[in-house]
Chain A
Amino acid sequence: MLDVEKEYIKLGLKENEFEKIKGFLKRNPNYLELSIYSVMWSEHCSYKSSRPLLKNFKTTGTYVLQGPGENAGILDIGDNQAIVFKMESHNHPSAVEPYQGAATGIGGIIRDIFAMGARPICSLNSLRFGKIESSQHQKYLFEMVVKGIGDYGNCMGIPTIGGEVYFDKTYEGNCLVNAMSVGIAQQDRLMKSKAFGTGNQLVLMGSSTGRDGIHGATFASDELNEKSEARRPSVQVGDPFMEKVLLEVCLELIEKKLILGLQDMGAAGITSSSVEMASKGNVGLDIDVAKVPLREPSMVPYEIMISESQERMLALIEPSKFAEIKNICNEWNINCEAIGTVTDNGLYRIFKGRELLGEIPVKTLTDEAPVYHHEYEKPKYLQNISDDILQEEDYKKIEKKYSHNEIFKRMIASPNICSKKWVWEQYDHMVQTNTAVLPGHDSSVIRIKNTKKAIAFSCDGNGRYCYLDPFRGALIAVAETSRNLACSGALPIGLTDCLNFGMPEKPGIFWQFKNAIDGIINACETLDIPVISGNVSFYNESFGKAIHPTPVIATAGLIKDVDKIIDSAFKDENDDIVLIGRKINNESVNDNMGGSEFLEVFFEKVSGKCPDIDIEYEKRLQRLCLDLIDGRFIKSAHDVSSGGLAVTIAESCIYGKMGAEINASLLGNNFLKTFYSEPQSQILISCQPENLEKIEKYCIEAKIPFEKIGKVKGTFISINSEIKIGISEITKIFDNNIEKIMTH
């Protein structure tokens, strides 16, 4: 017999938490019960550090059918249709076993979507690694994560349509793998996960249960260090074929109205999914571990209860429906066993046959789980970051060392700027034949068959900005996703987030977290975008060093008329190129190089002031862009972001396979500041010359500055006569640089 007094620490519980458990049970827990508490009270499952702050998000709005709290959030897109989506992190598993870690991250988030009764229609992901140019290990992580995501999604037949990839030293010891899945459902077929009805049964469907992923949730709630390698067995193994079959079975059961509720089995396996169902329905539950189909017959009850074997779902059913459900599962050759029964005693009881192995009041695992209000304090590093980062001499030095063409090429070649084609060509991004805007543009667009509608998605986060100012950095992330959507003609209607931070017990980290949350709240209220789902990932540290705070935002937008979708590519020779939003007279706003890619490429530092943003102004700009698209006045729109205006121009040229002659007014007479700083709230558009006057009128009305800066022309990009380079040359650098680095 194990001495539980000694075991609780190994399971990741704190002393006060162990005392609390004894108080709830009025006795010592046995090892099984202790294991159940440890996984349910892990940060990963309980959100014990973040819950008090997340409560403040705006979670309701015109389009919201379901906010946070279910497997995923739901938005109303009209015609009795709904979209269901959520983003989730799988950082730690991917750091120690990148292929399976990433694959099962995708698998998990896809199950969350079909648990709601929705058919998954696309996936996106947000990835961050250390610098791939200088480290074989970072290349390996990057290569295997991409392969893991691709192999899983491709086999499932769900297109991976977009996302983002960043490389920065800060992620060297702790990569970020955030995955998002989106589904579509008929509103009257939506599922919930609440358990109800004494005597109803819980049916386990899908894979057999093995020893993989034991204590995975606890692993996720700890920092990474030299011992992490030993956690590789905590990483689960994915089987996308099983998941594809499970998906079809679940949707068939819903279609035939055979089940009353559905829940994905993710972190903490049977325990977490069944406890959550019971807690939501305020009922008790009896689970019989003897009924669980096992891969290894010698597994003991606690292993069965917390195994994180993948591709399993739990359904609530009336006992009379079991035979029919079993038949359908047999037709598809998957397991189907009734492992639990709903009771009215509020207790979570675990049996093996008739033998009672453990008994815990359900609510003590969920609502009464510990909540921590961590202390916070502005971190010291912020005192050492100066606002004046580059002096005139610094710019001159760079200009002396490199020609403007060289500077431009170096910027385009940066792995953070250049095309991520190497990534998305490994993802099937066209299956289901709905992808109306292929990856690479500001947002990815999925049309909804048999309607005029489309849904657009954009995913963004900037760890550098957030490191310099978590409030503004998070606000910018929301604003940028929303601006990206506006650039394709989509009205933002809801978002999901993945908040990646270090250890919440450190006051400096919690300050970052708190400020980032406030930034998101601020942006969401002004832009009127509700948060409908999300995930918090703490403990993103290695050897005591935290990553840059990295809140990742993914926003969904609604397009009413697919024929009006535009992208960022220049379209026709002689079209006018116009920059809207640039406040020419307010230099302090515009010439900031803080946190920019330029600063990283040429000085290898993260410093300065995070770009300023006026969110009310931003809102007007986005509204204006949507109006211009709706009126069909513009042919392309591209948001100015990482890398600044020069990069934005280059991308529109490269995507359009056309040149441009640019002559923009300089800010402070400084070419580099003008074209490589990263001011917010600017959009580069192109239009037929006939429409120029109309566009100007719209801009004046919206009080948004307007400047015609050039024309689409020829086969060269020429910028203020300083840069002149052929489209084919720059395209080669842009398209191939990642592949070049990866094969080097």
Chain B
Amino acid sequence: MRYIFRPPGTDGAGLLSLPWHLPLEEWDRSLLLDVPQRGISRHVVRFVAEQGQVFALKEIAEPLARHEYALLGEFEEEGLPAVAALGICVDRPGGQDAVLVTRYLEYSMSYRYLFSRPHGDHSADRLLDTMVVLLVRLHLAGVFWGDCSLSNTLFRLDAGTLAAYLVDAETVERHPRLSPGQRRYDVDLARERVGAELLDLQFGELLPPDCDPVEIADSLAPRYEALWDEVTREEVISQDEQRFRVADRLRRLNDLGFDVGEVDLVTTPEGGVRLRVETRVAEPGQNRRELFRLTGLEVQENQARRLLNDIRAYRAYLEQTTGGTVSEAVAGHRWVAEVYQPIVDAIPPDLAGRLAPAEVFHEMLEHRWFLSERAGRDVGMEEAAQSYFATVLPRTPEEVTTPSVIATRH
């Protein structure tokens, strides 16, 4: 047998003792982690925990495993929203298929699960819009997915907004750029797979009665086309409105969650200006990097923006109470120790792992604002946290508890 791991391989080293010579279906249950809310798969998929981290193991033919492993590596380097591959195990005895090992995307849920119980904020509309953002992002990067479905799309909360991730790259083809036919076909496939899976949920009586599978599936293509057009369209504008129109376009793209790499303005013979924007395919990450620099916390982009705002507010508070200047770095450290960590530590053990700590903090801030507004005064962190843990956090169902937290409980 051969194991191929991507450095740092220390994460995967503990996995080497697993019984790779056996088919995944025969692995002892004590080695495995039960992850209830996954989607459907054509292959045998199992989950294992190792030193607090959770990995997904998928049995597939070796050429496919190598293909997927290589692609997921590329995606990770380029910052495309996809799960990260750790390695593959090939040359297993008896001509068995290879096993692809990916890192479990913590605090994620499959679309299949979400559609079966949409709650308030995650309407079918928003879920679909997020999926379309993912498709557009992949297409901009020359990625033909070939299997976009509810089961193959994972979703994470990012400060109340949604972010979607590709979880299965088995069928992916990478091209320098996609032809319109490839994009349309990929959207057709997505429409069909999403529709079929919604019908399946309906047959299983898991779909809310107001969800119409055909209607939802049919809305995918127009949503996609609208976003693709917004992101890639070239427009001719007149020179005098140039500044305003460029700024307007960039703001719209940012609002849609896209970063612009380059703006290309070319004068036309008619005296106008042709505006072309080159949209970055990677997720924007400046807030995330900034937060990491100040606090060492790794969170998602919108969460980071939210936390950075709170650090700034805390810094102002510190400067006001001490009467001197407080450096950014000091404020960051004190904020973690005095504000953020106490909240995270106070999460009741039975509620831990339902939401990422940064998401809990975000929700708690929202709750504090809500309580303060109602009370007509700032209720303070402690009271807000108590109330949040008692009334809001329990609404996130227990079954979405992230597997790494479940693993450490045992």
Is B a genuine binding partner of A? Answer: no
